[in-house]
Amino acid sequence: MAVTEWAIYVETRRPDGTRERCEIGAIRRDLSAPGPDDLGLRLAEAKGLLQQLQIRMIDGQIEQSAALDRRCCHCGLTRSLHDRRQRTIQTLFGTVPVCQPRLRPCPCRRSQADSSVSGGRSRRVSKLLKGRATPELVRIQAELGARLSFREAARVIDLFLPSGVGANHMTVRRRLAEIADQVEARDNASPHRISLSKGGPLIVSLDGAHIRAVPGFQTRHFEVTTGRVDAKERPTRHFAVAPNVSMSRPDTIRNALRAQGWLPDREVIVLSDGDPSLVGAVRTAVRGPVTHILDWFHISMRVRHVEQSLAGLLGSDLEHKGPLDYAAFNVDRLRHLIWNGYADEARHTLPDIMQMAANAVVLNGQQGRARIERFARLVRDLETYLGLNSSALIDYGRRYRAGLPISTSRAESTVNSLVNMRMNKRRQMRWSPKGAHRVLQVRAAVVDGRLADGQLRLTG
């Protein structure tokens, strides 16, 4: 046997110069026949050490804070101790039992006016022991709950932190709700940021996503709206809102705009996939006109479907391809025309393309009929799409060359990060609008870095 021991001590150094040392743990290794697992600190050992360190530290902090408040600020005498209240506080490094001291009034009887004691309790200690859990623990439970399922979040916390910290999925859910409501309250309360109207227009990118609803909800799915607001020289602000919650869609968008320095006279550009209700929500949010741009990504996808369908037909074994060859001339120009701001011209070629498809059906009879008709349907869909959004079609090429955004593919990535990871259909999860809304609030705050230290003030 060749056992070596590492003892870990904590030394407290108080402001009055006194010191106190105590051992919080020891680690032993038999080095006569070592294995790879013997190298360095093990997780279980680290958990134990952290928990002991936390207990020591909290104990010392409460003792010192209470000592400061025990001194009467009028006469300088030390108040006598009435009793100690036992309670626990949940921290990132374990649930720690604490003794909250209660103090007797000072004999000088001027203690009513003393700000350091309230109801017999040291104010400094009360400030330390606010709430049942430390803000950092609540924040981390909320963040993990927004990234993983509540159960997974509880397990991950349990894996890395001392036992009892993760609690269960219900705790994670509750903590997430707490943080979500705070994030929202903070958004609602925050005043207008100073507007830098010379910073150019604010760009709102919007997209919707469908989420499976809990059984008993009025519909099987409901739609959440996610998006982002970009302003020059500011980090992106993400937002998300579910239906049937206390926050309306326009309110959520207005808060996000406000956080980015929006004031009523500032220009707002909306990039959307063409869903008129999304654009309408932004109009309501700014209570005025907005510039709507149909995003290039969605146009491009639809044009690509047409192109690919036609390419498939031309490469097939159809007997009569003449009309389709003719249609190809126009299909090849579509992308170029729309990109360069000639969307009207592009639209006018579409009936011609459909006519050629109809001719191809007549010539080929039943052969390939379904495929040609599918092609014609894609062309008709594109025609409808461009027609409905004609006012939102711009010279994409010029805007792109000017370095300005032309696509909500940025909003798509928001949807991906906000919704898909946590609540897409493959996960078989069902959501209430309120539950989904809360997860999305925390998730958006995590993406933006708004959940970081000091950004939120926990109450109660």
Bridge partners (DSSP) listed for residue 292 = 270
Q: Which residue is nearest to Zn ion (CB)?
A: 72
In the bound state with Zn ion, the residue whose beta carbon lies nearer, of 70 and 228, is 70
Distance CA 48, CA 54 (A): 10
Residue 295 Cα to chain centre, angstroms: 23
Taking the least distance from each CB to Zn ion, the nearer of 81 and 108 is 108
* Nearest residue (CB) to Zn ion, 28 versus 74: 74
Q: Which positions ≥6 away from 73 have C-beta within 8 Å? A: 114, 115, 116
Say how many C-beta atoms besides its own lie within 10 A of residue 390's C-beta: 12
Decide whether 87 or 110 has the Cβ nearer to Zn ion: 110
| Torsion region of 211: left, alpha or beta (phi above 0 gives left; psi -120 to 50 gives alpha) | beta
User: Among residues 107 and 365, whose Cβ is nearest to Zn ion?
Assistant: 107
DSSP line for 31-62:
-SS--GGGSS--HHHHHHHHHHHHHHHHHHHH
CB of 121 to Zn ion, least distance (A): 17
Residue 37: what residue type?
D
Burial string for 402-441 (b: 16+ CB within 10 Å, else e) reads: eeebbbbbbbbebbebbbeebbbeeeeebbbbebbbbbbb
**Would you say 74 or 425 has its CB closer to Zn ion?**
74
**Tokens encoding 363:** 């010539």
Q: How many residues does the chain have?
A: 460
Q: Smallest distance, Å, CB 53 to Zn ion?
A: 36
Minimum distance, C-beta of residue 78 to Zn ion, in the bound complex (Å): 9
The binding site for Zn ion (CB under 5 A) comprises 72, 74-75, 106, 108
Taking the least distance from each CB to Zn ion, the nearer of 74 and 398 is 74
DSSP for 284-323 reads HHHTS--EEEE-HHHHHHHHHHHHHHHHHHHTS--S--HH
